[in-house]
Amino acid sequence: MTKRVYVDNSATTPMHPQVLEEMLPYFTERFGNPSSIHSFGREAKQAMDRARDRVAKSLGAGSDEIYFTGSGTEADNWALKGTAYANRDGGNHIITSKVEHHAVLHTCQYLERYGFDVTYLDVDEYGMVNPEDLKKAIKDSTILISIMFANNEIGTIQQVEEIGKIAKGKGIYFHTDAVQAMGNTAIDVERQNIDLLSISAHKIRGPKGVGALYIKKGVKIDNLIHGGAQERKKRSGTENIASVVGLGRAAQLASDNIEGHVRKMTLLRDRLIDGIRERIEHVRLNGHPTQRLPNNINFSFDFIEGEALLLSLDMVGIAASSGSACTSGSLDPSHVLLATGLCHETAHGSLRISLGDINTEEDIDYILEQLPPIVERLRKLSPLFKQCEGGKVHV
């Protein structure tokens, strides 16, 4: 069988065996409904409480500020719609950025249809929001600032603390999507002045289908899901106990092991970045050179298209992703890469490699061995390559 190397950890991660082990009893013998008062219910309630404590601790939050959701996307939707509608009397202006995840961007577009005014901040060539631009964008009617902690495609880590300070100084709520940041960079909602923060379990070796929203005590927010008063009357629906238990354990593991994880990821990442630059010409590292997730590598390879690259890598067992339109199901390449000023054809030729705990130095060396001949083959097929070699400016 061909060697298989999974380097798409920003898409999802394999569940940690300790997470699975802790979840299993909650599918079978400990099946109680935490709303029930009998011993079965109390057992489930205790498991929920423990998971909540663990998530809270990993974020520097209070346990009563953690609300479980069905995904990171739901947490983003809730944060935006919930605060927008609940604070409408204070204004209708929301500030976000052009590089947000679609869970935030599409929610903002939805809110625009209902009378909200949204400013989408530009980013620099590295995908970074300039806090000065944020200051200038604030109006009397601004009620919410939503800027992601770290970007899912190019790994750029925003100046969250600075943004939080600005928001706090103006008395505006600050939400951040920390789905990719969690476990890969230190999060402390208190120190970073964060009012709302979204996380997802499956990005940190937990199960899929569960996330959480941190809501700072006192934040005015409407419910997104109405019903039976679960989650302290804020998010209804019978709790997904096993998954919540999994999220709790995954969050605990992620924050307990963060130093070792970051050290290992950084070493592997830099080995790969340096190796690609040494071996392949006409490449560009997308994202910030230093302020980036320790597990994110994003390169554009001139003259070739990302989907062809991904398929070729897949044929030799390497699983990665791309910002190419062909992989997104739309006609346009990644909005993130375009926002950093990349032209369309360069954005089409992007490759994201996202590392995880399971990756090794051998994996990196295998990629470095397989990638150059693939790029070379596709370039030989490309009409754009020769035009460049001939000294002409390529289209």
Partner 1 sequence: MYNETVMEHFTNPRNVGEIEGADGIGEVGSPQCGDIMKIYLKIEDNIIKDIRFKTFGCASAIASSSVMTEMVKGKTVEEALKLTNKDVVEKLGGLPAPKIHCSVLAEDAIRKAVEDYRQKQKVKNRG
Annotated catalytic sites, by residue? 326
Q: Is residue 344 at the binding interface for partner 1, with CB under 8 A as the rule?
A: yes
Task: Report the residue count for the chain.
Answer: 395
| Site membership for partner 1, residue 47 (CB under 8 A) | no
Q: Indicate whether 153 belongs to the interface with partner 1 (CB under 8 A).
A: no
Q: Which of 164, 248, 333, 356 touches partner 1 by CB under 8 A?
A: 333
How many residues interact with partner 1 (rule CB under 8 A)? 25
Q: How far apart are the first and last CA of the chain?
A: 41
Q: Which residues have CB under 8 Å from 66's CB, separation 6+?
A: 52, 55, 56, 59, 212, 213, 214
* φ, ψ dihedrals at 228, nearest 5°: -85, 25
Does position 305 bind partner 1 by CB under 8 A?
A: yes
- Minimum distance of partner 1 from residue 310's CB (angstroms): 9
Rounded least distance, CB 389 to partner 1, Å:
12
Q: Does 37 bind partner 1 (CB under 8 A)?
A: no
Q: Which stretch binds partner 1 (CB under 8 A): 10-18, 243-251, 288-296, 380-388?
A: 380-388
Among the listed ranges 81-89, 304-312, 352-360, 364-372, the one in contact with partner 1 (CB under 8 A) is 304-312
Rounded CA-CA distance 54/22 in Å is 13
Task: Return d(Cα 76, Cα 56) in angstroms, integer.
Answer: 18
Of 164 and 349, CB closest to partner 1: 349
Q: Which stretch binds partner 1 (CB under 8 A): 65-73, 128-136, 263-271, 325-333?
A: 325-333
Task: Count the Cβ atoms, other than its own, within 10 Å of residue 98.
Answer: 16
**286: contact with partner 1 by CB under 8 A:** no
**What six digits make up the tokens of 222?**
């409407």
Binding mask 347-376 for partner 1 (x = CB under 8 A): -x----------------------------
As measured in angstroms, the least distance from the Cβ of 393 to partner 1 is 12
The rounded distance, in Å, linking the Cα atoms of 35 and 269 is 46
Region binding partner 1 by CB under 8 A among candidate stretches 50-58, 157-165, 215-223, 299-307: 299-307
Q: Would you call 380 exposed, middle or buried from its count of C-beta atoms within 10 A (0-12, 13-18, 19+)?
A: exposed
Residue 302 Cβ vs partner 1, minimum distance, rounded to whole Å: 10
Which of 75, 65, 26 is CA-nearest to residue 203? 75
Among 304, 313, 339, 351, binds partner 1 (CB under 8 A): 304
Place of tokens 């070796």: 205
Cβ at position 82, least distance to partner 1 in Å: 35
Of 163, 205, 158, 193, residue with least CA distance to 178 = 158
Report the nearest approach of partner 1 to the CB of residue 340 (Å).
Answer: 17
Applying CB under 8 A, which part among 41-49, 180-188, 205-213, 308-316 lies near partner 1?
A: 308-316
What is d(CA 180, CA 36) in angstroms, rounded to the nearest whole number? 35
In the block, tokens 């903002």 appear at: 108
| Per CB under 8 A, 283 contacts partner 1 | no
Among 315, 365, 369, 373, binds partner 1 (CB under 8 A): 315
Q: Which residue type does 266 have?
A: T
Distance CA 220, CA 282 (A): 50
- Which residue among 324, 334, 340, 354 contacts partner 1 (CB under 8 A)? 324
Given candidates 289, 331, 392, 393, which one binds partner 1 under the rule CB under 8 A? 331
Task: Give which of 286, 293, 291, 355 is closest to 323, Cα–Cα.
Answer: 286
Task: Transcribe 309-363 into DSSP letters.
Answer: HHHHHHHTTEE-B---HHHHTSSS--HHHHHTT--HHHHHTEEEEE--TT--HHH
Quick one: which segment of 12-20, 110-118, 141-149, 328-336 binds partner 1 (CB under 8 A)?
328-336
Q: Which is nearer to partner 1, 191 or 344 (CB)?
A: 344
Among 31, 263, 380, 389, binds partner 1 (CB under 8 A): 380
Q: Where are the beta strands (DSSP E) in the chain?
A: 5-6, 66-69, 93-97, 117-121, 142-146, 173-177, 196-200, 211-215, 283-285, 296-301, 318-319, 350-354
Establish if 345 lies at the interface with partner 1 (CB under 8 A): yes
Residues of this chain that bind partner 1 (CB under 8 A):
303-308, 311, 315, 324-326, 329, 331, 333, 343-345, 348, 380-384, 386, 395
